[in-house]
Amino acid sequence: MRKRRGSGWLYDAALMTALEHHAVTRVVEAFGDRTLSRTNFRDQTTLIVQPEDAHEILRFLRDDAACDYALLVDVTAADYLEYPVDQPGRFGVVWVLRSHTHDDLLLVKTWLNPSIDTSGIEHDPALEVDSACDIWPGAEWREREVFDMFGIRFNGHPDLRRILTWRDFPAHPLRKDYPLRGRGERENYEVIDRDSV
C-alpha cells in the first residue's frame, strides 16, 4: 500500500485504487447522485457526505448487508476555526462506525458552516443535522455532548439537553472562539465563609 522512502510517505496511484473501501463503493453505487468524497489517512477511510444526506447514508451503512455497521462507536465534532490548512467548513461532525461482521471501522463526516455569530448560544439553523438516534439508540448521549460542546443541534433527537455543563451555561465551550478560561463562569459562585454557616 505505502512505501516508506527516506523521511516521507510516497503514495502509489495504482495502490491507492486498491485501497478502495468496500463500504464506500457500496455507498457510491447506491447514492451516485449525491455529492460524496472520501479521504484516507493511515489506512483509515473517511466518507464525507452532505449534511442533508447524512441520515440516509448512515441508515444505509447499518442496514446494507455488505456494510453492516451495527455499532456506532462515537459521534463527535471538531471546530476548524483558524485551522492551518483550509477546510471545507467550520465544524466537522463525525460518526465513527464499526462493523463486527466485516471487522472494519469507517468514519463518516459532514461539514457545517454557521450562519450567525458563534460566540453565543442562539439557535443557528445552519448548525443542524439529522439525529442518528433512530438508527443507533446509543447516539443519544453522544449527540447531547456534541450539542453541549459545539451547539450543533440534531433534528429528531428525543431529548436534546446539555449533558456535561449545566443547563444555564452561557456558551458552547469547545468552540475555538470560546476562551479557555471561560467568561467568568467559574468565578460567579456563592462564597461560604465562617460567618455564613
Partner 1 sequence: MGLEAAIPVDGFLTTSLNRVINWARRSAVWPMPFATACCGIELMATASSRYDLARFGAEVFRFSPRQADLMIVAGRVSVKMLPVLQRIYKQMCEPKWVISMGACASTGGVFDTYAVVQGVDQYIPVDVYVPGCPPRPEMLIEGVMAIQRIIDQDNIPFDGDGRRLPLEIALEPTHRPSDQPVDVTIGAT
Residues near partner 1 (CB under 8 A):
164-166, 173, 178-183, 185-186, 189-195, 197
SS3 content of the chain, % helix, strand, coil (to 5): 20, 25, 55
Query: What count of other Cβ atoms lies within 10 Å of the Cβ of residue 136?
Result: 20
In order of 72, 151, 184, the CA distances from 180 in angstroms are 30, 17, 11
| Residue type, position 110, single letter | T
In the structure grid, which three cell numbers stand for residue 182, read together? 471561560
Taken in order 155, 161, 162, 167, is the CA torsion positive or negative? positive
Q: Which is nearer to partner 1, 86 or 187 (CB)?
A: 187
Closest CB 164 distance from partner 1, rounded Å: 8
The whole-angstrom separation of Cα 90 and Cα 87 is: 7
Q: Which is nearer to partner 1, 41 or 166 (CB)?
A: 166
| Residue type, position 108, single letter | V
Q: Which is nearer to partner 1, 111 or 178 (CB)?
A: 178
Q: Which is nearer to partner 1, 5 or 167 (CB)?
A: 167
Q: Which is nearer to partner 1, 1 or 164 (CB)?
A: 164
Closest CB 192 distance from partner 1, rounded Å: 5
Closest CB 188 distance from partner 1, rounded Å: 9
Closest CB 145 distance from partner 1, rounded Å: 14
Closest CB 184 distance from partner 1, rounded Å: 9
Phi, psi at 99, each rounded to 5°:
-110, 120
The whole-angstrom separation of Cα 67 and Cα 69 is: 6
